[in-house]
């Protein structure tokens, strides 16, 4: 599946979960909260690139570095560790499931 489409679906899934948990439609556009959309996006990106290009490929390694930077900043600036881990899980699981389609 297309990498851009996969990570977009993961981000939308994360935002829909955020709406369900907060019970507010306006949460779709809010920054922060459970789960972390930033973490979901980079988790989905790293997973999609690794699945398509290989886990030890140069693009995958670059995506791991981006993932590390974004997750570190998310935890230290606006999210709890739990929000970040749930966001990562949403991104990774979404792309993993989509890779079978």
* Confidence label for 31 from pLDDT (cuts 50, 70 and 90): low
Decide: pTM greater than 0.85: yes
Q: Per residue in 53-101, pLDDT tens?
A: 999 999 999 999 999 999 999 999 888 999 999 999 999 999 999 998 8
Task: Give me the phi and psi of 7, to 5 degrees please.
Answer: -70, -30
Cα–Cα distance, 6 to 47 (Å, whole number): 10
User: Length of the chain in residues, anyone?
Assistant: 101
Helices then strands (H, E): number in the chain?
Answer: 4, 0
Residue 34: which domain range? Answer: 3-98
* Contacts (Cβ under 8 Å, ≥6 apart) of 81: 75
Structural domain count of the chain? 1
């Amino acid at each position: 599946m297309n990498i851009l489409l996969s990570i977009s679906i993961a981000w939308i899934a994360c935002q829909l979960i955020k709406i369900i948990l907060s019970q507010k439609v306006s949460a779709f556009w809010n920054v922060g909260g459970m789960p972390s959309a930033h973490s979901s996006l980079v988790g989905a990106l790293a997973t999609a690139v690794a699945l398509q290009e290989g886990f030890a490929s140069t693009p995958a390694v670059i995506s791991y570095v981006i993932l590390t930077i974004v997750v570190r900043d998310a935890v230290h600036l606006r999210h709890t560790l739990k929000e970040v881990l749930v966001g990562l899980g949403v991104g990774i699981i979404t792309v993993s499931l989509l890779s079978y389609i």
